[in-house]
Amino acid sequence: MSEKKLAGKVALVTGSARNIGRAIAHQLADEGAAIVVNAVSDQEAADTVVSEIKAKGGNAITCIANVTDVNAVDAMVARAKEELGGMDILVLNASSRGQVPFLEMTHEQWRNVLDITLDGAFFCAQACLPSMQEAGWGRIVTLGGISWHVGTSTRVHNLVSKSGLAGFTRGLAVEFAADGITVNCVSPGFIDTVRPASAGARPNRKISAPIDRMGTSDEIASMVRHLCMPESAYITGQIMHVNGGLYLGGS
């Protein structure tokens, strides 16, 4: 029935070689967007995602870049514009999690998380927004997290960076609304991903969600996709929780 609604759009999904980022890359590609698959270092995993997208008839390129490096980000966005013809959708998914009791947290650990989640968002958004302004259309989706909403122990750096990212989302939403650019945050609950050792054990909270299972990466990705669609032009500055009812939002 429907044409591919994102045909002709170019999307950069940071940290899209695996898990939620990968699912987002796939779903945006399914809607016709050309995808920049980004990873900090795992070229092979990123290339695999690119091949999968191409095998479905989509268009994608791999860009290995560390989002904490402004030069690498600028080069990635320049390459995307040159090879794919624009920059319309930015999904700020790359992040790092760690679990450290606050008094044992080194400044380096603190900085590392803030660098990736917040500085990375800053660099990527600054690099991408001018193209969106020029086109009079753009979508930025940030990936939040449930930790700072419910309060989770030994993740102060993560809570701070994700709550900061929510403020970042709202700030950009207000500032760029007149340019036809929406900015929203999708906040996942417990999702069935492959976790790196650095993420630590999944917090075993006593809260039980109304939907008593882990969510899937695709369930997160489909909300991101929905926000990127033309019909979502009136949604901006929001935090969309996809968490099985684990946290019901501040309404």
Q: How many CB atoms lie within 10 A of CB 109?
A: 15
59 or 222, CB closer to other proteins? Answer: 222
How far is residue 189's CA from residue 191's CA, in Å, rounded to a whole number? 6
CA-wise closest residue to 198 among 246, 151, 155: 155
Q: Which residues pair with 189 in a beta bridge?
A: none
User: From the CB of 99, what's the least distance to other proteins, in Å?
Assistant: 23
Contacts with 236 (C-beta within 8 Å, 6 or more apart), sequence order = 173, 177, 182, 183, 184
Host H or E run for residue 62: strand 60-64
15 or 244, CB closer to other proteins? Answer: 244
2 or 204, CB closer to other proteins? Answer: 2
User: From the CB of 185, what's the least distance to other proteins, in Å?
Assistant: 9
What is the largest distance, in Å, between two alpha-carbon atoms of the chain?
57
66 or 243, CB closer to other proteins? Answer: 243
Query: Cα 13 from chain centroid?
Result: 6
Whether residue 133 contacts residue 181, with contact meaning beta carbons closer than 8 Å, is answered with yes
78 or 174, CB closer to other proteins? Answer: 174
User: From the CB of 48, what's the least distance to other proteins, in Å?
Assistant: 23
User: From the CB of 74, what's the least distance to other proteins, in Å?
Assistant: 27
Which residues of the chain form contacts with other proteins (CB under 8 A)?
A: 1-2, 4, 30-31, 149, 166, 170, 173-174, 177-178, 182, 189, 209-212, 215-216, 218-219, 222-223, 226, 229, 231-245, 248-251
User: From the CB of 156, what's the least distance to other proteins, in Å?
Assistant: 18
88 or 219, CB closer to other proteins? Answer: 219
Whether residue 13 contacts residue 35, with contact meaning beta carbons closer than 8 Å, is answered with yes
User: From the CB of 17, what's the least distance to other proteins, in Å?
Assistant: 22
How far is residue 52's CA from residue 115's CA, in Å, rounded to a whole number? 30
User: From the CB of 76, what's the least distance to other proteins, in Å?
Assistant: 28
The amino acid at 41: S
Whether residue 215 contacts residue 243, with contact meaning beta carbons closer than 8 Å, is answered with yes
65 or 139, CB closer to other proteins? Answer: 139
How far is residue 165's CA from residue 114's CA, in Å, rounded to a whole number? 10
